[in-house]
Amino acid sequence: MANKPSIPKGTRDFLPVQSLRRQYIFDTARKVFQQFGYVPIETPAMELSETLLGKYGDEGDKLIFQVLDSGEKPIKASQQKLSKINLKEVFREVTKELIIELVENLEDFGSNQSLEFSEGLIEQWLLEKSSLIGLLDKGIQNDVASSLAPLIYDFYINSIYYKWRHGRADQSRVEFFNYVTNPPVRKRLIEESLTSFERKYTSELSKYEDLSRDIIIGRKELYTSASEKALRYDLTVPLARFVVQNQNELSFPFKRYQIQPVWRADRPQKGRYREFYQCDVDVIGSDSLLNEAELLCIIDEVFTNLGLSDVRIRINNRKILSGIAASAGISEHFQTMTVAIDKLDKIGVDGVKEEMLRNGLPEAGVKKVLNLIKLKGEATGTLKMLAGAVVGSEEAYKGIDEVKSVLKALPEAVREKVELDLTLARGLNYYTGAIIEVGHDDFPSSICGGGRYDDLTGIFGLNDMSGVGVSFGADRIYDLMEEKNLFPETLKAASQVLFVNFGKEEVMSAIRLAADLRTEGLSAEVYPDEAKMKKQMKYANDKGVRFVVIIGEEEHRAKTATVKDMLSGEQDALNQKDLVSFINDKLS
């Protein structure tokens, strides 16, 4: 390959500084999650396709990457071969030869042999025939053979014996064998057998033709092999699968976090990648609203620790939205309503209104909905007004109570930051209670979001496991932090100290001193090659090394060193034995 190498579209390499910064985000989140008693899990990148497919809607299914073993290609090649075969012709030939062989073999049995040659024997012959021809796929071959064998056996014994019995009443087996092995009789028998057999197995064969056609066009086999494994699309479905599969190993309520990549075959564009990380934190098996409150504290803590204490944390409750729909008389359009409301930021009130009307919602209902969701201001007041407006909707009341409880369980400092936003809908997600979304005024998309599912694990057969959680969008948080220049200066892709390499002898002091610095917890490296001073200094500069230590011939002899502080430009000469404390002083 002489072309410049590249990577699949929508995927990215991360250079050292980027990797360090990503790691910083993950470590910060991880630390907070653990402080709140959440524990990590990891699930495999590949899940069984049946685990993933059908969980994200038709559109989601299309975005799932399916995984093949390389070894699965030969299956396709044999399917290709098979597609060129007229299966009926092949079977007719095989059967014809088989019957001729059977009759010929009767001669060898001799008059004192038992007639009871087994079905197994016929099956074996049939298999040998078809494998000699070598055209049939192994799976089909066994299937056909074992199913055709008794048919052939029955036909053969019955038709021949019947004919013989009919001609001569109650004869001995010796006479039967003499009869069927008489050449002209045999010839006629073979012909009659073939004709009658072909008629009999036509219906049987048609089954196998269908099967082979399935294989040829890939409807069955190929599909199955291609869809056996797939890359995970998010961390929520794998979590549900994990909880059900490992339920006996877990303590409930199960508070877990998970920081792993997910893959989506989305059309790549700015800020949208085909591989990206999710940081999910969820509680499974508790419907207490303290969990919602705790997650809001976690959100506040993570973003504050990242220097983003000015994020906008918005909450709402699907029960409130459902109650609003009910009181506006459009309950049956709930999904349409939430999907439309979800676009409010993008298309404005008029756009939302238009979308709802276009989808057949009555104008009065739409108007009422839009009036209600635009209620704003301090949460207690808003909830009070809302309660007055949705009179009679039990569900709305329940949602209102839930929001109140969540807010009550928040420490004052967090409560002040959380905003009740009735226009928050998270349209396509199957949340049933709280919904949460975090944004930032300087960033176009949400950077964290989640909510409660009443029955998270039901899809895998474990009922009554409520789940609530949020997902941090690490890649977007990265972009936002970079834009706002929030990464610590210390996240440099460099060691703190670089020793210049002056040659075989001098470098020995450097190696020893570098080890001393590392023992003190510092990072230090020795330039490996005896390159020109200028080149080594450029390396230190490019990487952002803080101190360059020079031990030339003279310094080596005198056990001294010259230290250059690349930040201030200052240069100091000192004894080698004082180096560690010198650097430590400078850094503290």
Which residues, numbered 13-52, are part of the site for a copy of itself (CB under 8 A)? Answer: 13-16, 18-20, 22-23, 34-37, 39-48, 50-51
Binding mask 346-385 for a copy of itself (x = CB under 8 A): ----------------------------------------
Read off the amino acid at residue 270: K
Decide: is 463 part of the binding site for a copy of itself (CB under 8 A). Answer: no
With CB under 8 A as the contact rule, the residue among 8, 134, 183, 392 that binds a copy of itself is: 8
Q: Based on the shown chain and the rule CB under 8 A, indicate whether residue 269 belongs to the binding site for a copy of itself.
A: no
Q: How far is the CB of 584 from a copy of itself (least distance, A)?
A: 15
Alpha helices in 217-230 (DSSP H): 221-226
Q: Which of 187, 374, 512, 577 binds a copy of itself (CB under 8 A)?
A: 512
What does the per-residue mask of binding to a copy of itself show for 198-227, with x meaning CB under 8 A? -------------------xxx--xx--x-
Beta carbon nearer to a copy of itself, 37 or 120: 37
User: ∠ at Cα 216 (215, 222), nearest 5°?
Assistant: 50
Which residues are bridge partners to 46 per DSSP?
231
Regarding 241 and contact with a copy of itself (CB under 8 A), the answer is yes
71 binds a copy of itself (CB under 8 A): yes
- 409 sits near a copy of itself (criterion: CB under 8 A): yes
Q: How many binding residues for a copy of itself (CB under 8 A)?
A: 119
Q: What is the DSSP string of 91-108?
A: HHHHHHHHHHHHHHHHHH
Is residue 65 close enough to count as binding a copy of itself by CB under 8 A? yes
Answer for which of 185, 250, 379, 486 binds a copy of itself (CB under 8 A) is: 250
DSSP one-letter string for 458-474: GGGT--S--EEEEEEEH
Q: Which of residues 528-547 bind a copy of itself (CB under 8 A)?
A: 528-530, 539, 542-543
Contact 470, 295 (CB under 8 A): yes
Instruction: Report the candidate in 12, 564, 583 with the shortest Cα–Cα distance to residue 277.
Output: 12
- Rounded-to-integer distance, Cα 237 and Cα 213, Å: 35
Tell me which residues in 101-160 interact with a copy of itself (CB under 8 A): none
In the β-sheet with 497-499, what is the strand arrangement from edge to edge? 524-526, 497-499, 547-550, 560-565, 571-575
570 touches 528 (CB < 8 A): no
Taking the complex as a whole, the smallest distance from the CB of residue 523 to a copy of itself amounts, in Å, to 5
Q: Is 249 in the site for a copy of itself (CB under 8 A)?
A: yes
Query: C-beta of 536: minimal distance to a copy of itself in Å?
Result: 10
Strand (E) or helix (H) holding 550: strand 547-550
What's the rounded Cα separation, in Å, for the pair 119 and 154?
9
DSSP string across 420-457:
E-TT---TTS---SEEEEEEETTEEEEEEEEEEETTTT
Query: Which residue from 78, 159, 164, 253 is in contact with a copy of itself, where contact means CB under 8 A?
Result: 253
**Binding status of residue 339 toward a copy of itself by CB under 8 A:** no
Q: Which is nearer to a copy of itself, 392 or 521 (CB)?
A: 521
